Amino acid sequence: MIKEEVQKLLNNLIQLENLSSSIYLAMSADANRKNYTGMAHWLKLQSDEERTHMLKLIDYLAGKDGIVQILAIPAQPTDFGTPLETFEKALEHERFVTNAYQRAYDYITQVDSQTLIIILDFLREQIEEENQTLTIVERLKIAKDNPAALLLLDQELGQRKNVGAVKANG
C-alpha cells in the first residue's frame, strides 16, 4: 500500500495533468475556430499527450493499491488571443507544471524511491515540452503579424505526429 502523503501527491499530479489536457483542448478549439488548423492539430495532440500522462499516473497509483481521486476541473476560456498569446500561455502553463513536478521530486526523494522513478520520467518529459513550446513562441515572435509567416508556421505545426508522449503502460 502506498503512503497516504504519496497518494495525495499523485492525485494532485493527476488533477494537474487533467487540467493541462483541458487547457490544451480549449486552446485547440480556439485555434481551429480562427482557422489555424495546424496549430489546432498541434494543441489537440498536446491535449492527448497530457491525458496520456494522467493515465500513466492513474495506472501507477492503482497498481500500488492507492485510491485514485478524479476531481472536477474548471471550465476553460474560449478565446486565448493571438497565436503568440496562446503559445505564451501554453509556455507559462508548462513552466507551472515543471515547477509542480520539481516540488514533487524534492519531496518524493525523501520518502519513496519507486515513485521517484515515475516523477523523473515526467521531469524529463517537461524539459522537452518546455523546449518545444518555447521554440514555437520564439518563431511566432519572428513571424509577428506577417500572414504568410503565420500560415507557414501553422502548416508546419500541422505536421506534428504524436510520438513524444510517455507511454501509458510504462
CA distances from 85 to 31, 45, 136, 150 (A): 11, 19, 11, 13
Q: What is the pLDDT of residue 157?
A: 97
At residue 144, the pLDDT reads 93
SS3 at position 2: coil
pLDDT at 75: 97
Q: H helices within the chain, ranges in order?
A: 4-33, 37-63, 83-108, 113-143, 147-157
Question: Domains in the chain, please, with CATH?
Answer: 4-157 (1.20.1260.10)
Is 94 annotated among the ligand-binding residues? yes
pTM over 0.75: yes
Predicted confidence (pLDDT) at residue 1 exceeds the cutoff of 70: yes
pLDDT per residue over 19-35, tens digit each?
A: 999 999 999 999 999 99
The label of the residue with cell 494543441 reads 43
Residue 17 assigned to a binding site: yes
4 is in an annotated binding site: no
Place of cell 508556421: 153
Mean predicted confidence (pLDDT) in 71-90:
98
Of all residues in the chain, the percent with pLDDT exceeding 90 is 93
Spatial CB neighbours of 144, under 8 Å, sequence gap ≥ 6: none
pLDDT at 169: 39
pLDDT by residue (tens digit) across 103-159? Answer: 999 999 999 999 999 999 999 999 999 999 999 999 999 999 899 999 999 999 999
> How many CA atoms does the CB half-sphere of 84 hold within 13 Å?
12
Provide the angle, in degrees to the nearest 10, between the axes of the packed helices 113-143 and 4-33. 20
Q: In the structure grid, which three cell numbers stand for residue 121, read together?
A: 520520467
